Amino acid sequence: MSPTVTVRWTPVCPLDRLDLDRGVAALVDGVQVALFRTVGGLFAVDNLDPVGGAYVMSRGLVGSRGGVPTLASPLHKQVYDLTTGHCLDLPGVTLRRHRVRCRDGLVEVRLRQEE
């Protein structure tokens, strides 16, 4: 029901700056984004930990739970489904996802803003 406002794609860094399963943070139009490269592809989510309130999600550990790719908060270890952003440990808590793609060896991010 909340319309998605489409913003432009912002090039962020070369793909080889992303180590497998290890995140980095990027600043996109003033928004902190956490980027990950896994064997299942690229993921971009808010760097803000929705529970802890600090900008740390890019430093969490990537893994899987029941086949779903996951990200664990480095503060208090809540685990999020990277494909939906839903917290698997706390019902109702969601990590905002952003769109991410790789073009000509460059990683690009497009913010998704729910209003």
Site residues for other proteins per CB under 8 A = 11-13, 17, 19-22, 24-28, 30-32, 35, 38-39, 48, 50-56, 59-67, 69-70, 72, 74-79, 89-90, 93
Which CB atom, from 1 or from 51, has the smaller least distance to other proteins? Answer: 51
- Residues 96 and 85: beta-carbon distance below 8 Å: yes
Which CB atom, from 6 or from 11, has the smaller least distance to other proteins? Answer: 11
> CB of residue 45 vs other proteins: minimum separation in angstroms?
14
Burial of 94 (0-12, 13-18, 19+ CB in 10 A): middle
> CB of residue 61 vs other proteins: minimum separation in angstroms?
4
- In 10 A of CB 106, how many CB atoms? 13
> CB of residue 41 vs other proteins: minimum separation in angstroms?
13
- Residues 55 and 25: beta-carbon distance below 8 Å: yes
Which CB atom, from 1 or from 67, has the smaller least distance to other proteins? Answer: 67
- Angle CA(92)–CA(76)–CA(113) in degrees, nearest 5? 45
> CB of residue 42 vs other proteins: minimum separation in angstroms?
13
- In 10 A of CB 102, how many CB atoms? 14
Alpha helices, H only, 26-78: none
Which CB atom, from 19 or from 83, has the smaller least distance to other proteins? Answer: 19
